[in-house]
Amino acid sequence: MSDVILKNISHSYGAVRVLDQIDLTIRGGEFFTLLGPSGCGKTTLLRILAGFIRPTEGEVWIGDRDITALAPEKRNMGIVFQNYALFPNMTVKENISYGLRVRKLPAEERKRRCEYYTELAGLKEYEDRRIQELSGGQQQRVAIARALVIEPQMLLLDEPMSNLDVALRVKMREEIRAIQRKVGITTLFITHDQQEALSVSDRIAVMRDGKVLQTGTPGEIYDAPNQEFVADFVGFSNRFGGRLVRPEQMQLKRDGEGVPVEITDIRFGGMYYEYRVRSQEGEYRVLELNRGNASQKWKRGDTGVLTVLTEGSGANA
């Protein structure tokens, strides 16, 4: 499978520049995520990849082929839009096989593929239902099956989970990831949700104001952010001794070496305790797993010392 390469892409809507010199390589078979706040240019970049928008500058390549000028229908991309864009009056089966009829595939091949992807998306028992008769999660599965059935060279997912409630979002992202692994298709996933990005991606590009700030594995982005914005966007971090330190990388001890602190607040999170502590220099958050009786039993007003557990390679504060 070929790499997909965005070379020095910039884009302006009228006089407004919304993408600024984007260079990205999405490796063949990889699950690649664009993560960034609303308005940073994620959808514009996806539309450039799909061919709906011609970039003001730059090129799009697949392997050794320049596809910058290629029409969308010739790019063979499977796309899942935020609102799914399903045909409400058609059944599940009709929605899934639509792209195959448009492409005039032989009836036998249409049937085979439709059955395979219906099954893969877990929709067998709903195949004759109409779209209005499905839950949000089921509709999303139809959208994914419909995108995959054309056997595209790439799958593009634009915030596919944003219409689902939190619990369903977690379940669906795992399903999408499992399906992607099984099919092995190169995937570009868009989200503004850092948890979602960290949990499903092979690699992530963090975007802000039309620029890619950092590209890396979830571990690299979280543990070694290259700047403050990236650190803050993927989780909370303390400013501690001129560095950015995650709450779970800090440790409270009764005594010994460390920065003297007072516990100002304790929040119980079930799986963990979150302590707010204060030193002469500032305030910090410390996370500790709840280990039942093995947990330290701190009370508000207790004093202790604060240390950093690991020498992370995080950005400077």
What is the binding site for ligand ADP (CB under 6 A)? 13, 18, 36, 38-44
Residue among 103, 76, 93, 90 at smallest CA distance from 2: 76
The item of Mg ion, ligand ADP, none sharing an interface with residue 39, based on CB under 5 to 8 Å by kind, is ligand ADP
What six digits make up the tokens of 310? 């690991």
Nearest distance in Å: CB 14, ligand ADP: 7
Indicate the residue among 158 and 288 with the shorter CB distance to ligand ADP.
158
Burial class (CB in 10 A: 0-12, 13-18, 19+), 241: exposed
Binds 249: which of ligand ADP, Mg ion, none (CB < 5-8 Å by kind): none
Contact (CB, 8 A) for 277 and 283? yes
- Tell me how many residues contact Mg ion (CB under 5 A): 1
Closest residue to bound Mg ion by CB: 43
Minimum CB distance to ligand ADP, residue 39 (Å): 4
| Sequential DSSP letters for 28-65 | TT-EEEEE--TTSSHHHHHHHHHTSS--SEEEEEETTE
Report residue 276 CA to chain centroid gap. 29
**191 near 161, Cβ under 8 Å?**
yes
Q: Which of Mg ion, ligand ADP, none does residue 13 bind to, with CB < 5 to 8 Å depending on kind?
A: ligand ADP
Nearer to ligand ADP, 14 or 242 (CB): 14
Encoding tokens for residue 248? 């779970």
Q: Which of residues 6-45 bind Mg ion (CB under 5 A)?
A: 43
Cβ(146)–Cβ(138) below 8 Å = no
- In the list Mg ion, ligand ADP, none, the entry touching 201 (Cβ below 5 to 8 angstroms by class) is none
Closest distance of CB 162 from ligand ADP, Å: 11
| DSSP result, 73-99 | GGT-EEEE-TT----TTSBHHHHHHHH
Residue closer to Mg ion by CB (options 6, 252) is: 6
Nearer to ligand ADP, 157 or 306 (CB): 157
The pattern of x and - marking residues 38 through 57 that bind Mg ion according to CB under 5 A reads -----x--------------
The DSSP letter of residue 176 is H
Which CB atom, from 80 or from 261, has the smaller least distance to ligand ADP?
A: 80
CB of 183 to ligand ADP, least distance (A): 25
Nearer to Mg ion, 4 or 46 (CB): 46
Rounded to a whole number of angstroms, the CA Rg of the chain reads 24
Residues that bind Mg ion (CB under 5 A): 43
